[in-house]
Amino acid sequence: MPLTGSANLLTLSTSNVRRIPSVRTIFYLRMRHYQLMCHRRRHTPSWKQRQCMRLVDRSQAIYIHREIEPLLKSCLDRYAVLLLVGPRGSGKTTLLQHCLGEGCQFLSAEEMSAMDTTLADPNDLLAGGNRTLVLKDAERRPRLVAAAVADGRPGGLVLEAQFVTERLSAALQSLTKHVRKLRLGTLSLRELLGQTGRGPHVPAPPRSMASTPAMDEGALWEHIWRGGQPVLLDATTNWDDFYSA
């Protein structure tokens, strides 16, 4: 019995020792952190560079194609109401502007409040043309959503939301069969590399990424550190300010 207890104690001690990272592992992690910090210092624009970047016309910004575009266009052709859910800054509005162009009309809360006093019937708003209406506070306009479903015109109404709240879920509960929900995430590495539709989302052995261009290791760590929010691709955007807002 004592021998068995000693063996168990020895096994327990050995398992605990194995969980402690080795000196080599700690040294490697510290070196990688040091290399990343050096890369950030080299690639972080100076104050003058940031001031010059602010003078650049934002209309010249390059649009990054999203893998959800074909599915979004297909749903707009089949469903009267589309719910697009995604975190703040994930590019929901930019995606809709790119896919719909001039064929969409964005309705702000102020515009809807003004329309509430002049429009007695939500169908009057839907009958204003063949444009797609984009609304951000759908939980406050259940009559408009119901009118879009009853109208039946594909792509008549798009609802934007950061997440599905209980109030929004209750407003759409009776219309779930007629509302298509899509979820937009942050930018994937494949989207950043312009390899949408093929290849893995993360780096892999060369044989499975033969058509994917090589990526600098420092740039890869920079993308991982900054995150996949499209707005953070702008070097003038402060990382701490964005996530603290």
The pTM of the full predicted model, rounded to 2 decimals, is 0.57
The residues pairing with 160 across neighbouring beta strands, listed in sequence order, are: 84
Of 49, 35, 103, the residue nearest 235 (C-alpha): 49
Amino acid letter, 207? R
Helix boundaries (H) for 157-216: 166-172, 189-192
**Which domains, ranges and CATH numbers included, belong to the chain?**
69-183 (3.40.50.300)
How many angstroms separate the CA atoms of 226 and 235, rounded? 10
- The dihedral through the CA atoms of 80, 86, 90, 93 has a sign that is positive
Provide the 10 A C-beta neighbour count for residue 125.
19
Q: Which two tokens stand for residue 81?
A: 């109401």
- DSSP conformation letters of 101-132: GGGEEEE-HHHHHHHHHH-S-HHHHHTT-SPE
Across 131-208, where does the E strand assignment appear? 132-135, 157-161, 179-183
From first to last of its 245 residues, what are the pLDDT tens digits of the chain?
444 444 444 444 444 445 666 777 777 777 777 777 766 665 555 544 444 344 334 444 578 888 889 889 989 888 888 999 998 888 898 899 898 888 778 876 666 666 665 555 666 666 656 778 888 877 777 778 888 888 888 888 888 888 887 888 877 877 777 888 899 988 887 787 777 665 544 444 444 445 555 666 677 777 777 777 777 777 677 766 666 65
Phi, psi (rounded to 5 degrees) for 136: -105, -20
- Name the β-bridge partners of 85: 161, 183
